[in-house]
Amino acid sequence: MDAATILLYLSPIINSIEQNIESQLKARHPKLVEWFRMVELPRIAGFFIPLLKKWSMEYAGSGVAGIILAISCCVAVGKLGSGHISCPLFISSIEDALIELMNLSHSLVSVDKLHQLATEAGFEQEFLYNFGTKILPSQKSEDVEFWIGLAQKKLAKAIRRESVFSGLQTFQDKVSSVIHVQESNCLATLGIFAFLGRKTRLFLLGMGIKDLDEQVKDFLSYLECGSLFIYPKFSSLSVYQLFMEVVADEIGWLDFYAAFPLGFNQERRRSKQHAIQAEKEIILHTVFTVCYDVFSGFAHFSSSTQQPLNADLLAFLLRSQSLLTSCLEDYWAAYDRSGYDNADFSSSQLQKIAERNALDQTQSSGTKDTTSSSVTLDAQQKASCKVGTETRTLVEAGRTAESEALHQNLLRKSSMKLISTSSDIWMGTQLLFIDIMASLELLLKQMRGRRVTERERKKLKQTLADIASLIPVTILMLLPVSVVGHAAILAAIKKYMPSLIPSPYSSERLDVVKQLKRSKKMEVQTLSNQEDASSAISQK
């Protein structure tokens, strides 16, 4: 890789920024252009020369040193933002060149070496968000192993660093009384699989798949919230929410489903939802493949690093894998049975047609048994009139019963919708109260002179924005209408003005609460099953 290739990517950008800088300098003073070329540019280049020499010695002949230097310069200019640069299209061209150069560098060195270079050059975040979307599918198990190891390392460090609502306690103190590296690694592993569970749930929701089997729901719930089986304090919504906030903030760049876009879901909506079952099978196959690859990658990582796993974490992984295996078995069984299901459907339809033909033949044969006498004809006419009257009565009764059933069905659906909306409002209010209490403690922590992390600052700003957006919604909800009217107002706001809805009332956060409740029920069922099994053994 020579300098000509790098210049091919950067020449348009270099020419554009050079013209822009010189025009602005000339507007101030003509001699500033000469000063910039003779003094300022050599001084700036002096910062990069030591790194360039170091990388050139370590990766001699590969040309990666020049690419890394070019990437770091692009990142530095891009961080200035469009506000400091008068060229509107310049930032977008910088981003395009940045992606091309990073992909080019990946073809020269391994991903772990490239991450080390990105960290030294100061563009690790850009590296993570670029390559974090290309983890799966992967032909190299070493790459998946590297990404899982990197995610665990970052999460373990964040768990030891982050603080919670009480000022002096760290997150680890909130969960366990003693801080251990092994314990933080355990929490980091749980965080990775919880993040996988959440990403999978959101992926299925984005693809329009809602009618999942109970086994798939159990698997996703256990994957996302199974940490409460190991740490009972995760049953508390505030503790679990903090844990997932740390996870999402630290490894949010990790996207397992970026290679599987949501495009054909939109095509299905335009085509009136044809072949939804076939698409569901494809989507579920994708989900199970991704989950299997992550489990396999973690197994390779744990084996290569000889990282010890405690008994609880091992039990969690084994049960998760067992649930995934059950889902795969049911999936393939249902896929193999699809032909037989269609055959059964066809045979039942043929049976209905045969019965209808037999009924028509019986009715037609009844009309043939007539005589030519006028008395018999009159009797037949009276009988037919009677049958017609009875038929009309039956039809009217059927219509009345059908309308009543339709009315009851509509009333039942409205009641269920009202109950669901009321439950969502209550859960959202609980989440908002938790956010407000957490923000108050963060403010007290800041007033005491304690350092507030970047995640905590974002949380504080989000809570303040939620409180501000809650005011107009509260005014609308105080209107003198019925409960059904309030539910209709809330539904209209969600549909037409979603920005007015505070984040605690969003479907994404409410679904997390529902997943946590489902996992708690799974825990109770598991404990009851174990008690039943132990009592049965003792009786024997």
Q: Which of 339, 355, 382 is the last residue of a domain?
A: 339
Residues 188 and 294 in one domain: yes
pLDDT of 222 strictly over 90 = yes
- The secondary structure of residue 107, as a DSSP letter, is T
Residues 163 and 299 in one domain: yes
pLDDT (tens digit, 9 = 90+) per residue, 89-131? Answer: 666 777 788 888 888 888 888 888 888 888 888 888 989 998 8
Residue 308: exposure state from Cβ atoms within 10 A (0-12, 13-18, ≥19) = exposed
3-state secondary structure 339-375: HHHHHHHHHHHHHHHHHHHHHHHHHHHHHHCCCCCHH
Is 115 part of any domain? yes
pTM exceeding the 0.85 threshold for the entire prediction? no
- Banded pLDDT at 536 (limits 50, 70, 90): very low
Residue 463: exposure state from Cβ atoms within 10 A (0-12, 13-18, ≥19) = buried
Q: Which of 339, 358, 380 is the last residue of a domain?
A: 339
pLDDT (tens digit, 9 = 90+) per residue, 493-503? Answer: 777 777 778 88
Query: What distance in Å separates the CA atoms of residue 291 and residue 324, rounded to the nearest whole number?
Result: 8
Which of 46-60, 78-92, 264-278, 407-421 bottoms out in mean pLDDT, i.e. has the lowest?
Answer: 264-278
Sequence-distant (≥ 6) Cβ neighbours of residue 410 within 8 angstroms: none
Most distant CA pair in the chain, distance:
126
Q: Which of 131, 153, 171 is the last residue of a domain?
A: 131
Query: What distance in Å separates the CA atoms of residue 424 and residue 416, rounded to the nearest whole number?
Result: 12
Residues 166 and 99 in one domain: no
Query: What distance in Å separates the CA atoms of residue 501 and residue 468, rounded to the nearest whole number?
Result: 10
Torsional class of 122: left (φ above 0), alpha (ψ -120 to 50), beta (otherwise): left
pLDDT of 270 strictly over 50 = no
Average pLDDT over every residue of 342-362: 43
Residue 492 or residue 267, greater confidence: 492
Residues 225 and 246 in one domain: yes
Asked whether 96 and 147 are in contact (CB, 8 A), the reply is: no
pLDDT of 151 strictly over 90 = yes
Residues 127 and 204 in one domain: no
Query: What distance in Å separates the CA atoms of residue 196 and residue 290, rounded to the nearest whole number?
Result: 9
pLDDT of residue 32: 86
pLDDT of 166 strictly over 60 = no
Asked whether 168 and 317 are in contact (CB, 8 A), the reply is: no
Q: Count the neighbouring beta carbons within 10 Å of the beta carbon of residue 473.
A: 17
Is 367 part of any domain? no
Residue 35 or residue 352, greater confidence: 35
Whole-number average pLDDT of the chain? 75
By residue count, the chain amounts to 540
Residues 95 and 145 in one domain: no
Residues 323 and 465 in one domain: no
Specify which residues 170 forms β-bridges with. Answer: 163
Quote the domain boundaries for residue 71: 1-131
Asked whether 453 and 162 are in contact (CB, 8 A), the reply is: yes
Closest CA to 254 of 157, 136, 422, 427: 136
- Count the domains in the chain: 3
Residues 236 and 278 in one domain: yes
Residues 126 and 253 in one domain: no
Residues 95 and 152 in one domain: no
3-state secondary structure 189-206: HHHHHHHHHHHHHHHHHH
Sequence-distant (≥ 6) Cβ neighbours of residue 108 within 8 angstroms: 1, 59, 62, 63, 64, 67
Residues 91 and 162 in one domain: no
Helices marked H in 448-481: 454-477
pLDDT of residue 89: 64
Residues 53 and 160 in one domain: no
